[in-house]
Structure 1
């Protein structure tokens, strides 16, 4: 090969008994390519390689390596909460760890190509990825969106994305669009064929889909193009049973389900009454909460969405839907429906912007994992005589018994399609306890106590051993506790942070969607008893100590080691 020249070479490798990549055992090989001139090594390149087979089947659903698998997914925006939109690998890894622990096995990148580092993590951690290209084509959704660049750039952008991402084992399907306006006229047919052909030319191995809103064939010009391998639909769960009749022989995915609103630690009763906010596309919301909160009982949703429980139930009842992507995994910056400013981040997440699980996290964990789950809500600080709805999410058990100050309030069992059990309890201060049992044997016990006055701060770091690379992070959870160690559910103290050693406060948060405090401050008010401090390393090694203090509370410290 001469100076400055280029050449293509094709090599075939065979693996006799490959270890297969899966969502539970994401085994990766490395393919090392070396370029040599004589004996001199000029360049080297490593490509991760996972070996797996998968298929969508209209009759039997989705399978990975020949075994049936339900796609249990979430949609993820790109931002990382208090850190903003810039890529930080550890922040993305933490999000994926929390989703993995919930039982999630798939991510839809909504609605743009993800960072390469994100796909590297999904390869390593065992997530299937729907890699999505566009949120709009030629027809605009907003005045300054990608429709202005589509004509000139879409071909190049799509080719670059497929070439960049096609070696990632985690990517199992390409999406060429989300709720595209060309669904409604014949330009949708031409563009769908053109975009799908581009994908297939560069990667003939994976299916192509597009997230659609219209579930009537006559109204959907994207599905009429006849080239999508899988038909994916957003919302409208009541129509799932009709899909096989409307689109015979097709394979189906639910690309967006739920879109319910929750604010962590806030509860509106009665818990079994649904708040549709707003009630339609033309009516302004006037019935919301003055403090811009939504209930953590999973009982508030927009007219086009539904509760998490109703959406998941519909997926369970319709096996022809091969899987679902919940809107959304985490709260994200922007789109603060149903509220106007000063609400500034979304309410849709299963986890809040700080990465603290909302109660609904445990509903999914009880459904999506085999590990024993028992989650009791709400907190136990109410007004004397108030009737409180007490819920429990559970699995691996026949029943749950609830006790208040040692006195049984009865046993409950999930009936038919139930995803939780409930008691209506006249409030009395003290100890609320749930016990789950299987065959009479105790599986798990959960206890919530009435909290006294706030007394102290507790700090918990997700990781104490860090890399001194100016990028690594420790996410430190701040909890305001009473003297006995109970979380104080309405604590709103201003917590001040100081760091000694080779580290900095990279961001602070509390998960409240309408907080106007800076993400880049050295203090944060607790919200419903909790806050977050994100500590970032520098290039120096050493001990990093975070100190947290607030007026009237015993302060706390946590020490991290950076190497």
Structure 2
């Protein structure tokens, strides 16, 4: 198969095109990936409201002229879309060749019947995201992932047709089963040789070969299977993510007819109630984070560099697992997890037959679920990072409604036909929905009566009635699963182990403020294989889940507790994650590193303006605190300082004077708490075990803003139209220290062979646009993302900030 990327040079227009090609409104040239929603401004009247971050949808049309050479005559021609949101109609030369509903699954459009060789062919994709609301988070709109043109002979290797897996590993030799699906689109039966080579990805050194002859009937598919012994196999692991390359070739007596290459990794996985999750024979607790598909200030656009950066931030901070929430992600994101050694729960759906939003995928589920599930598993099953398939998240059918138990079994059975090597899971919460009318009324009546002691609100909460019925009502639904995902259900662990001792559990969602308790349970219970926080990386939509509110009047605070999950415009972000929208660390991330065994000391200073007030946190929030000592205007005022440390005790020193020691460690939830008076200067915290210093953290008060510092993650990129430079922009004082309280108007501009793809911050409430090159600094920082063009040369990123001398950096494109 000849695979050619065709991301470059598409014409885009808002709306549908005029009926006659070449007439109507002129378009603009865009290079994929592209998200036309992120280019728009937010709107308080957006149909999706806070769920979509007050962004809307719309209709857009992408058109590309394909030059199809005459030698393609007699071949099959396909277009592979990695993801289009949503409802795309694919048109070639005026003919509708494909429709697709799900906005997250990859799919193919067969152009063969209408292709004109030796001529120009007009390929158009109409994207319809106009029916709002259809999502519980920001979806973006458009062709937001890559597009490839595929050509192949009439008998060829099927797209995603290679499937490799290690059946077992003995004394360093891995026995790799390679199944290759072949398609015969001719009118005659075909007997054809299939050659398989396995090589190390790092240096292409040969690791094993196999050969088999396959009979492919006319108009049908067939599978050729070989088992290859790979000696001295280098296993894929979280600490050594070794990859291999498989090359499959279809050969006649004289030549190679077709070939395809894919990567895979050799590793073994298992789950059980005694050893938990095992990778290559050793038990691992899953240190997990849930992530949505958007790429921060890029919107929905998926680039290899942005996906890799986002995943590497997780890896560098101790995460070993990612849950794709709640849909198939991009091929680039999977490749990043493969190469970084991150384990993945690969999730298919957020809805089945019962809707969560008026226009969501539930409208198409019954007719489309099989093809969407198949395409995403076939595309992804060679990735060693994928350790579980998730069939759904918090679907209302979980208690048996709408034939839910039968659906759970049917979907799990279908997955096992495609891949027998990975456990199947599904995430189940409490019954805030999903019960028959009588029981649902009982649930909410009981919940409201107990809401005060439960912390207020109703989302993902449970009451006595819900806890009592949960296990029995969900058992038939959970029975087909290998691992049962529990969302916010730590209170069900003991009952589960007692009633269902053979069940393997994974905490597939938990809240930041409860991470200590959840992780303690992971360490204590062999049935519980890991914990995934909601969320590890901030995202657009579900705005205000992580909000913090502070009240002078405790009674007002109590009233607000009933509606603290509501976030009105201009809230945009969820706001409760460990890592903000730009990839910058929040204090809770440091706490998690300590919780997972880190020896660091971390100072978290609470905003003194909130001292003495009643704190009301959203259910996914962390208190308003920062890792800085720059609270200008609060000199002489009381301030609370928390120090995160696993050590026995922590000493706090302000301007050379000890303020005493406080206990920390597990007995104190890894936190030493101090109350003091703010005084500019230097604040130091030192951790001790048995009187010996373990680690420390030092903060110094920043001065006035005097300059700009630009820190790019790379200085040279390929001129491939896809490579990105992520440049962190900081406001600094005369000593070069970040000024974390500066909020200044900033501009970004790129000259030369590259373009400015995005510019913004992780601020949760804003009306500013990430695509205009104008934004206000937040906590002293911004992020500029520069996209390479298709020509070599030098570009310059220029940053201007009000009151400061502008600065710039060169970026080379080779």
Q: What's the TM-score bracket when you normalise by the shorter of the two chains?
A: 0.7 to 0.9
2:420 is the alignment partner of 1:204: yes
SS of alignment partner, residue 595 of structure 2: helix
Query: Which position in structure 2 is the counterpart of 1:380?
Result: 629
2:592 is the alignment partner of 1:364: yes
**CA, structure 1 residues 206+491, in 2 after alignment: closer, same or farther (shift >3 Å)?**
same
Which of residues 107, 113, 123 in structure 1 aligns to 2:338?
123
**CA, structure 1 residues 389+318, in 2 after alignment: closer, same or farther (shift >3 Å)?**
farther
Query: Which position in structure 1 is the counterpart of 2:672?
Result: 421
**In the alignment, is the contact (CA less than 8 A) between 2:246 and 2:264 conserved in 1?**
yes
Matches of 2:502 and 2:489, distance apart in 1: 20
Matches of 2:471 and 2:749, distance apart in 1: 62
Query: Which position in structure 2 is the counterpart of 1:355?
Result: 583
Higher-RCO chain (CA-CA 8 Å, sequence separation at least 6): 1
Query: Which position in structure 1 is the counterpart of 2:681?
Result: 430
Query: Which position in structure 2 is the counterpart of 1:240?
Result: 493
Matches of 2:580 and 2:470, distance apart in 1: 37
Matches of 1:81 and 1:236, distance apart in 2: 29
- Which digits, 9 at most, give the CA deviation of each residue in 1:420-454, with x for residues without a partner? 32221211111111233456554444221222222
**In the alignment, is the contact (CA less than 8 A) between 1:217 and 1:247 conserved in 2?**
no
Which of residues 473, 477, 499 in structure 2 aligns to 1:220?
473
Given the two structures, how large is their TM-score scaled by the length of structure 1?
0.87
**CA, structure 1 residues 37+351, in 2 after alignment: closer, same or farther (shift >3 Å)?**
same
Q: Residues 32-431 of structure 1 correspond to what in structure 2 (within 5 A)?
A: 32-185=247-400, 187-214=403-430, 216=469, 218-221=471-474, 223-224=476-477, 226-258=479-511, 260=512, 306-337=513-544, 338=565, 339-368=567-596, 372-378=599-605, 379-382=628-631, 383-395=634-646, 397-417=647-667, 418-431=669-682
Query: Which position in structure 2 is the counterpart of 1:29?
Result: 244
User: Offset of 1:519 from its aligned partner?
Assistant: 0.5
Given the two structures, how large is their TM-score scaled by the length of structure 2?
0.61
Matches of 2:518 and 2:767, distance apart in 1: 32
The worse-fitting range, judged by mean Cα deviation, of 472-481 and 376-385 is 376-385
User: Offset of 1:240 from its aligned partner?
Assistant: 2.6
**In the alignment, is the contact (CA less than 8 A) between 1:34 and 1:45 conserved in 2?**
yes
- Which digits, 9 at most, give the CA deviation of each residue in 1:163-197, with x for residues without a partner? 22222111111111100101123512111111011
**In the alignment, is the contact (CA less than 8 A) between 1:103 and 1:369 conserved in 2?**
no
Matches of 2:658 and 2:772, distance apart in 1: 47
Matches of 2:704 and 2:185, distance apart in 1: 75
Matches of 1:457 and 1:330, distance apart in 2: 26
How many residue pairs were aligned? 515
User: Offset of 1:22 from its aligned partner?
Assistant: 0.8
Matches of 2:478 and 2:317, distance apart in 1: 37
User: Offset of 1:3 from its aligned partner?
Assistant: 8.2
- Which digits, 9 at most, give the CA deviation of each residue in 1:270-316, with x for residues without a partner? xxxxxxxxxxxxxxxxxxxxxxxxxxxxxxxxxxxx54444444444
Query: Which position in structure 1 is the counterpart of 2:758?
Result: 507
Q: Residues 440-519 of structure 1 correspond to what in structure 2 (within 5 A)?
A: 442-519=693-770
SS of alignment partner, residue 123 of structure 1: helix
Which consecutive residues of structure 2, in runs of 5 or more, have no partner in the other structure?
1-154, 156-183, 191-215, 217-221, 431-466, 545-564, 606-627
The worse-fitting range, judged by mean Cα deviation, of 70-79 and 372-381 is 372-381
SS of alignment partner, residue 536 of structure 2: coil
SS of alignment partner, residue 256 of structure 1: strand
**In the alignment, is the contact (CA less than 8 A) between 1:238 and 1:314 conserved in 2?**
no
**CA, structure 1 residues 164+551, in 2 after alignment: closer, same or farther (shift >3 Å)?**
closer
User: Offset of 1:363 from its aligned partner?
Assistant: 1.4
Q: Give the aligned CA root-mean-square deviation in angstroms.
A: 2.1
Matches of 2:644 and 2:292, distance apart in 1: 27
Matches of 2:786 and 2:329, distance apart in 1: 24
User: Offset of 1:222 from its aligned partner?
Assistant: 5.9
Matches of 1:185 and 1:98, distance apart in 2: 40
More strand by share: 2
User: Offset of 1:69 from its aligned partner?
Assistant: 0.5
**In the alignment, is the contact (CA less than 8 A) between 1:188 and 1:221 conserved in 2?**
no
The worse-fitting range, judged by mean Cα deviation, of 403-412 and 209-218 is 209-218
**CA, structure 1 residues 217+553, in 2 after alignment: closer, same or farther (shift >3 Å)?**
same
Matches of 1:44 and 1:220, distance apart in 2: 50
Structure exhibiting the larger radius of gyration computed from Cα positions: 2
Query: Which position in structure 2 is the counterpart of 1:282?
Result: none
Matches of 2:672 and 2:254, distance apart in 1: 70
